[in-house]
């Protein structure tokens, strides 16, 4: 077998795998493994790329279906304890006051007049925006130093680092070794956010998910298979 990872605009990175045992070109979309194209050995990559371009709409719809299926969003209210790595939510009911959310000094402070207003679509959206603001603030402070530390420790070199609110991926590494990290990594335990960072750093030397990639990642992370399995318990846009 042979494999190759290619980035497509509006879809992300797709893994192309050549397999002598298959007879037909096949696209699969998996919640944890992403998009994969399985190719018969005699099919060229150019042909496979054209096939993906034709199927872009289907791939996007399939990704969105996985993102929204089977996972209910949290209802933020005083009975639910929620915190990020460095922030926690407080609730203060003030009759006749407006719904307000303020992020300051490690606290996401929610003031609301009634439970009905707090639990409304508008109230929940306001809280989520505040959480994302807090996560972005945390991530921009935490990740530059953490990535630098891990890169130096294991001998990697990368170009730029950006923090984004990615919809379906925890991170990515471009062909120019520019690394993107999802701000929602700040909701994960530190050992898992480190695992994602190391995953992208290994991509600076191994651009696909072949044998050498996983050998290197396993060597420096301690147990890549275990951490990859743990990551399945978390979702980028469900919190």
User: What pLDDT score does 32 carry?
Assistant: 55
Round the average pLDDT of the chain to a whole number and report it: 88
Higher-scoring residue by pLDDT: 29, 50:
50
Residue 96 has pLDDT above 90, yes or no: no
Measure the CA–CA gap between 146 and 163, rounded to whole angstroms: 13
Measure the CA–CA gap between 15 and 231, rounded to whole angstroms: 19
Going by pLDDT thresholds of 50, 70 and 90, the confidence category of residue 217 is very high
- Global confidence as pTM: 0.69
For residue 57, how many C-alpha atoms fall within 13 Å in the half-sphere facing its CB? 1
Label the pairing between strands 100-104 and 107-112: antiparallel
Q: What is the H or E stretch that residue 126 is in? A: helix 121-154
The three-class DSSP label of residue 236 is coil
Domains (ranges, CATH) in the chain?
2-68 (no CATH), 88-231 (3.30.2010.10)
Single out the residue of 15, 49, 37 nearest to residue 210, CA to CA. Answer: 15
Residue where the block lists tokens 């042979």: 2
User: Percentage of residues in the chain with pLDDT exceeding 90?
Assistant: 54
Looking at residue 13, the DSSP 8-state letter turns out to be: E
User: What pLDDT score does 154 carry?
Assistant: 97
Mean pLDDT, residues 120-130 taken together? 93
Residue 70 has pLDDT above 50, yes or no: no
The three-class DSSP label of residue 180 is strand
User: What pLDDT score does 68 carry?
Assistant: 56
Going by pLDDT thresholds of 50, 70 and 90, the confidence category of residue 237 is confident
Residue 107 has pLDDT above 80, yes or no: yes
The three-class DSSP label of residue 172 is strand
CB atoms within 10 A of CB 63: 19
Residue 222 has pLDDT above 70, yes or no: yes
Going by pLDDT thresholds of 50, 70 and 90, the confidence category of residue 80 is confident
Tokens (6 digits) for 101: 């959310």
Tokens (6 digits) for 65: 């279906």
Q: Among 5-19, 127-141, 221-235, which range has the highest average pLDDT?
A: 127-141
Mean pLDDT, residues 195-205 taken together? 97
């Amino acid at each position: 077998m042979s494999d190759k990872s290619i980035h497509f605009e509006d879809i992300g990175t797709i893994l192309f795998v050549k397999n002598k045992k298959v007879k037909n070109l096949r696209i699969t979309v998996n919640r944890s493994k992403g998009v994969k194209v399985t190719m018969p050995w005699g099919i060229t990559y150019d042909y496979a790329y054209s096939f993906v371009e034709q199927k872009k709409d289907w791939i996007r719809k399939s990704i969105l279906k996985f993102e929204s299926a089977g996972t209910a969003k949290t209802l933020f209210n005083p009975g639910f304890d929620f915190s990020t790595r460095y922030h926690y939510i407080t609730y203060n009911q003030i009759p006749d006051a407006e719904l307000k959310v303020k992020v300051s000094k490690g606290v996401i402070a929610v003031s609301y007049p009634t439970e009905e207003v707090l639990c409304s679509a508008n109230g929940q959206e306001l809280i989520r925006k505040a959480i994302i603001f807090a996560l972005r603030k945390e991530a921009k402070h935490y990740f530059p130093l953490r990535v630098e530390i891990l890169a130096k420790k294991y001998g990697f070199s990368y170009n730029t680092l950006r923090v984004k609110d990615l919809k379906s991926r925890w991170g990515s590494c471009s062909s120019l070794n520019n690394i993107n990290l999802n701000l929602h990594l700040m909701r994960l335990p530190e050992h898992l956010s480190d695992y994602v960072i190391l995953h992208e750093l290994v991509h600076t030397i191994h651009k696909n998910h072949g044998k050498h990639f996983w050998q290197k990642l396993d060597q420096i992370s301690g147990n890549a298979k275990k951490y990859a399995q743990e990551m399945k318990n978390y979702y980028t846009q469900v919190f």
